[in-house]
């Protein structure tokens, strides 16, 4: 009802620039509203700012923050591959030049698509949140399973020497051990700070200071910087609230942007997260998906047949064996996940927690106990080790079978692990 | 991050003392050739790694001393304490009155299990003093009984108990014409066991060190103390702090880890050797000046021609053309006596260190075909000079340098084993012929891997 009224009556003058300004303030490295306006008309000068914005939005937080940002060409490539891996439907974007000079309207559409799909702004705000406590990240199973943007794949020229692979594995192992040692050092030092500052915190429930709070006391300049960061975070949060109030105007405007695009073979429509949108649009999207699926099938089948013909002699037993392996792996994973869930783990919170050192006698109070968490993690660890042991046994049996099959062959195992 | 040193046997303890002395002397050297602030950062970094908090101002070495005879350890402890500059911990020593009779099996199967708990407790106490443990540095000889057998046992225990910590074993390769008859047995047993439980084997050959003392240091009567000082100088120039990132003033936090990551990630190639330049004694320095170009040229040729000394280098050995296929290249290299490297780490200390040109070490012809110079070659630098050497360079390399000596030792040991000479000395302490055969297999494999570079 409200929507129809607004469509007919015309938006309040200035509502759109305000909405865009709010959006831009909420986003990290948000460009000015003028850039958005120019992007609607596909002006080339708006393109670089939008490429950089998308790069900031799509790259993992550590990469965006600490190191100097890469050259525009590298940013363009990463944005393209990240959008592709998330399933962005418009093919025009993938064909844009890598110098970042064109395509501002396409980029605007891509941004709107990302906003429409999921809680993008909340996600971005959570990434840059200012924490005063010592944070303990709680690894969720789903978080591990969702991959980031894929690294650019390098084709190996010629056969790869296995010794090189072993070298790389060894490097990884050393880095892993270095990481564990650093983690242990971090824990030891955290423990020291927590014990030394016992009784200093004004909040009796917490009892001791965190690292950030200790730094605040030691270094007033750092305190000023922390205050500035909190203030800027506040500004962003207020802008986010403004955006929520005004975003409908933005979506209406985006429809006009989409309308001003040249026609494509498979136009995608944008679905704002407004649940009031009727079933008609859903039906449209569903039909498009089915059509796309059919197209893909048609493209894949001849390619697969050609590859199989080239690989020679593999034929149906190979694909049957492949399918059987995939199903077996799927079953194993599902069994593992069920076992984890049955492990009686305490309900995992959805946000990181503040680490607090408590007296052993203090049992009451909110929050998770470290002992429970470590217990649950140990159960998972033992399940994974069992699974690993079973896989290793299977491997050994297979090797033994192969060794037995060729009596003239001598197998020499590598030294140690 | 801190390194805990385990000094084993007569050899290990004497060397350990010289190493800590060299590290301390360097870090308190007045002529740093750098700013006061940087010198202080250097000292602090060195101290964090190797010494622990002092009581009454004297730094305590992060080390434990283990020997089965009391003489050498008590000498070492008192020498350190007398200097007044640094010392060993009061309770860091473990010794017995028994000796090992140059018998690897006695050290491994008798002393090891018997004294396991005491030794591991000592190590644990030292580890607890560290805020963060980078790893263990175990100094031992290969030819005797205590260092070799007990050393292998202790390393295995460290592997079990501290599986995430790094372990580097510093091994003394005996004289070719050494005095211990069964030194070859001891050597192959030590090497094979260490290959399984250690991360890196840093080898110093007695013959090479002896030659350096004789030719370059002009020492007439060479004692073990002289040899150990040359050795300590080389180790010091590797392990003293270096910058972590190009041009920054922060010192590297985990030298052991970085070194291992650069040089020994592959499980079959764990043997490391050190070369350094200039090798003349500090007293002769006043009359010499060096350029980086000259130093690096000599260092590169020392690597290629497998020379340990900066004098008498064979300049005819040159890298072959890189167009040959891998197999042909390997056999040609063998003919030319060209020392192929897997990975190299060059450490530069001193004046104008940023102007040094290392192009010569980035030549792909120096390296094996399956590792490109960008992965195989690394440089560490610091402007702070090492001791009184205005410019000095060290090279830690994983190369074929030990191939011939290893092959020789394995051959000699096999000949003895084939005639069962002295085997009963080992089997009577729990070792079996199977263990010997396993050792031979493993070492033959190592020889083959290095040969096929």
Any idea what the CATH number is for the domain that residue B137 is in? Answer: 3.40.50.1440
Average pLDDT along chain B, 453 residues, taken 10 residues at a time: 94 95 89 78 90 84 93 92 90 87 91 94 93 93 89 95 93 88 93 95 93 82 90 94 74 90 94 91 77 92 89 82 57 72 94 90 90 92 88 94 93 94 92 93 93 87
DSSP three-state, residue B342: strand
Q: Are residues B176 and B252 in the same domain?
A: yes
Q: Is residue B347 situated within a structural domain?
A: yes
Contact A174 B254 (CB under 8 A): no
Report chain B residues whose CB lies below 8 A from the CB of A193. none
For residue B299, the model assigns a pLDDT of 93
Residues B18 and B80 both lie in one domain: yes
**B363 lies in some domain:** yes
Same domain for B396 and B353: yes
Count of the separate structural domains present in chain B: 3
Parts of chain A with a pLDDT under 50: 1-10, 63-65, 141-150, 265-267, 271, 275-277, 417
Alpha-carbon span B332 to B321, nearest angstrom = 10
What are the residues whose beta carbons fall under 8 Å from the beta carbon of A80, sequence distance 6 or more?
Answer: A93, A94, A96
CA A284 to chain centre: 29
pLDDT tens across B368-416, in order?
989 989 999 999 998 888 988 889 999 999 999 999 999 999 999 999 9
**Whether residue B206 sits in one domain with residue B89:** yes
Q: Which residues of A fall within a CB distance of 8 Å from B446?
A: 415
Chain B residues close to A175, C-beta within 8 Å: 261
Whether B230 maps to a domain, the answer reads yes
pLDDT number for residue B61: 94
Residue B447 has a pLDDT of 94
Q: B312: left (phi > 0), else alpha (psi -120 to 50), else beta?
A: left
- Report the residue from B134, B164, B267 with minimal CB separation from A416: B267
| Whether B308 and B356 share a structural domain | yes
CA distance B352 to B46: 22
The CB-side HSE value for B404 (13 A sphere, CA atoms) comes to: 10
Taking the C-alpha atoms of residue B194 and residue B108, their distance in angstroms, rounded to an integer, is 12
Helix H or strand E segment including A181: helix A162-196
Q: What is the dihedral of CA B276, B280, B286, B291, to 10 degrees?
A: -40
Task: Kindly state whether residue B284 falls inside one of the protein's structural domains.
Answer: yes
E strands present in A96-191: 135-136
Same domain, B354 and B419: no
- Cβ-Cβ contacts under 8 Å for B204 (sequence gap 6 or more): B170, B171, B172, B173, B231, B234, B273, B274
| Burial of B415 per CB tally in 10 Å (0-12, 13-18, 19+) | exposed
Helix (H) or strand (E) holding B59, with range, is: strand B58-61
Residues B306 and B247 in one domain: no
Selected residue of A158, A162, A177 to mutate for chain B interface (largest B Cβ count, 10 A): A177
Of B400, B419, B434, which one is at a domain's C-terminal end?
B400
B221 touches chain A (CB under 8 A): no
Is residue B419 domain-shared with residue B283, that is, in the same domain?
A: no
CB–CB contact B267 A414 (8 Å): yes
Query: Given A161, A170, A175, which is nearest B370 (Cβ)?
Result: A161
Statement to judge: residues B363 and B438 lie in one domain:
no
Does a structural domain hold residue B224? yes
Task: Mark which residues 389-428 of B lie under 8 Å from A by CB.
Answer: none
> Does some domain include residue B331?
no
**Assembly ipTM:** 0.90
Residue B355: inside a domain, yes or no? yes
Size of interface A-B (CB pairs under 8 A): 73
Report the residue count for chain A.
417
Cβ neighbours, 10 Å, residue A59: 19
Considering B400, B417, B442, which residue would you say is the last residue of a domain? B400
- Examine the domain organization and report whether B181 and B250 are in the same domain: yes
Structure tokens at A250: 């933005």
Query: Are B210 and B168 within one domain?
Result: yes
**What chain A residue is nearest to B266 in terms of C-alpha separation?**
A167
Domain that holds residue B413: 404-452
Q: Say yes or no: B120 and B227 in one domain.
A: yes
Domain membership of residue B265 (yes or no) is yes
Could you tell me the end-to-end alpha-carbon distance of chain B, in angstroms, rounded to an integer? 34
Q: How far is CA A173 from CA A79, A186, A245, B12, B195, in A?
A: 30, 20, 50, 29, 17
Most A CBs within 10 A among B159, B168, B192, B268, hence the mutation to make, goes to B268
* Domain closes at, from B240, B255, B272: B272
Query: At a CB cut-off of 8 Å and minimum separation 6, what does A1 contact?
Result: none
Contact A181 B197 (CB under 8 A): no
**CATH code at position B286:** 3.30.1330.20
Q: How far is A156 from chain B (nearest CA, A)?
A: 12
Assign A14 to helix, strand or coil.
coil
């Amino acid at each position: 009802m409200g929507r129809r009224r607004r469509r007919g009556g015309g938006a309040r003058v200035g509502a759109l620039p305000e909405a865009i300004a709010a959006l831009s303030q909420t986003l990290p490295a948000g460009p000015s509203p003028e850039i958005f306006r120019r992007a609607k008309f596909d002006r080339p000068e708006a393109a670089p700012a939008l490429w950089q914005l998308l790069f900031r939005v799509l790259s993992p937080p550590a990469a965006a923050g600490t190191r100097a940002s890469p050259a525009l060409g590298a940013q363009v490539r990463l944005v393209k591959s990240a959008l592709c891996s998330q399933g962005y439907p418009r093919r025009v974007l993938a064909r844009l030049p890598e110098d970042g000079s064109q395509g501002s309207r396409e980029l605007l559409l891509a941004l709107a698509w990302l906003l429409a799909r999921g809680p993008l702004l909340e996600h971005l705000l959570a990434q840059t949140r200012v924490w005063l406590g010592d944070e303990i990240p709680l690894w969720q199973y789903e978080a591990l399973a969702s991959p980031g943007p894929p690294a650019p794949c390098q084709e190996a020229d010629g056969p790869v020497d296995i010794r090189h692979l072993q070298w790389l594995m060894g490097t990884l192992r050393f880095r892993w051990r270095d990481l564990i040692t650093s983690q242990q050092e971090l824990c030891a030092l955290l423990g020291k700070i927590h014990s030394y500052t016992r009784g200093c915190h004004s909040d009796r429930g917490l009892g001791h200071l965190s690292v950030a709070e200790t730094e605040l006391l030691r270094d007033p300049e750092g305190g000023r910087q922390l205050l500035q960061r909190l203030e800027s975070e506040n500004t962003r949060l207020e802008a986010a609230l403004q955006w929520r109030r005004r975003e409908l105007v933005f979506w209406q405007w985006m429809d006009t942007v989409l309308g001003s695009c040249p026609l494509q073979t498979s136009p995608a429509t944008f679905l704002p997260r407004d649940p009031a949108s009727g079933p008609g649009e859903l039906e449209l999207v569903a039909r498009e998906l089915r059509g796309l699926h059919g197209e893909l099938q048609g493209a894949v089948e001849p390619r697969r047949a050609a590859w199989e013909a080239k690989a020679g002699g593999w034929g149906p037993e190979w694909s049957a064996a492949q399918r059987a392996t995939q199903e077996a792996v799927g079953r194993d994973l599902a069994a593992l996940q069920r076992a984890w869930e049955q492990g009686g783990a305490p309900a995992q919170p959805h946000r990181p927690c503040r680490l607090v050192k408590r007296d052993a006698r203090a049992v009451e109070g909110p929050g998770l106990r470290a002992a429970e968490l470590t217990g649950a993690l140990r159960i998972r660890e033992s399940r994974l080790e069992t699974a690993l042991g079973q896989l290793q046994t299977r491997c050994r049996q297979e090797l033994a079978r192969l060794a037995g099959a060729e009596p003239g062959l001598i197998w020499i195992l590598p030294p140690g692990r | 991050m801190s390194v805990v040193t385990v000094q084993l046997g007569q050899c290990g303890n004497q060397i350990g003392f010289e190493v800590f002395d060299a590290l301390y002397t360097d870090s308190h050297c007045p002529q740093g050739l750098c700013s006061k602030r940087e010198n202080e950062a250097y000292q602090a970094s060195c101290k964090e790694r190797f010494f622990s908090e002092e009581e009454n101002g004297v730094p305590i070495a992060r080390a434990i001393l283990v020997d089965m005879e009391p003489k050498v350890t008590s000498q070492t402890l008192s020498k350190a304490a007398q200097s007044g500059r640094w010392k060993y911990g009061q309770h860091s020593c473990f010794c017995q009155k028994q000796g090992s009779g140059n018998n690897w099996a006695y050290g491994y199967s008798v002393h090891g299990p018997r004294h396991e708990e005491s030794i591991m407790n000592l190590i644990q106490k030292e580890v607890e003093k560290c805020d963060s443990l980078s790893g263990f540095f175990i100094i031992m000889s290969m030819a005797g009984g205590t260092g070799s057998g007990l050393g292998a046992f202790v390393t295995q225990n460290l592997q079990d108990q501290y599986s995430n910590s790094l372990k580097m074993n510093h091994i003394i390769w005996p004289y070719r014409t050494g005095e211990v008859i069964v030194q070859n047995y001891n050597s192959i047993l030590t090497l094979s066991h260490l290959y399984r439980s250690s991360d890196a084997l840093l080898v110093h050959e007695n013959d090479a060190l002896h030659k350096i003392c004789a030719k370059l240091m002009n020492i007439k009567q060479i004692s073990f103390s002289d040899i150990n000082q040359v050795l300590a100088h080389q180790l010091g120039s590797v392990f003293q702090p270096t910058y972590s990132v190009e041009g920054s003033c922060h010192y590297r936090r985990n030298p052991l880890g970085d070194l291992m990551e650069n040089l020994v990630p592959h499980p079959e190639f764990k043997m490391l050797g050190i070369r350094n330049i200039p090798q003349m004694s500090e007293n002769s320095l006043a009359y010499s000046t060096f350029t980086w170009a000259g130093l690096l040229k000599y260092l590169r040729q020392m690597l290629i021609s497998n020379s340990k000394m900066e004098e008498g280098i064979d300049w005819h050995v040159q890298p072959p053309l890189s167009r040959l296929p891998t197999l042909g290249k390997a056999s040609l290299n063998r003919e030319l006596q060209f020392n192929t490297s897997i990975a190299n780490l060059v450490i530069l200390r001193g004046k104008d260190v940023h102007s040094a040109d290392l192009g010569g070490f980035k030549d792909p012809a120096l390296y094996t075909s399956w590792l490109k110079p960008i992965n195989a070659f690394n440089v560490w630098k610091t402007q702070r000079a090492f001791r009184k050497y205005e410019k000095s360079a060290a090279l830690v390399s994983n190369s074929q340098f030990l191939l011939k000596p290893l092959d020789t030792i394995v051959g000699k040991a096999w000949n003895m084993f084939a005639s069962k000479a002295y085997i009963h000395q080992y089997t009577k302490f729990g070792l079996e012929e199977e263990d010997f055969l396993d050792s031979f297999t493993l070492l033959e494999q190592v020889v083959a891997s290095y040969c096929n570079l």
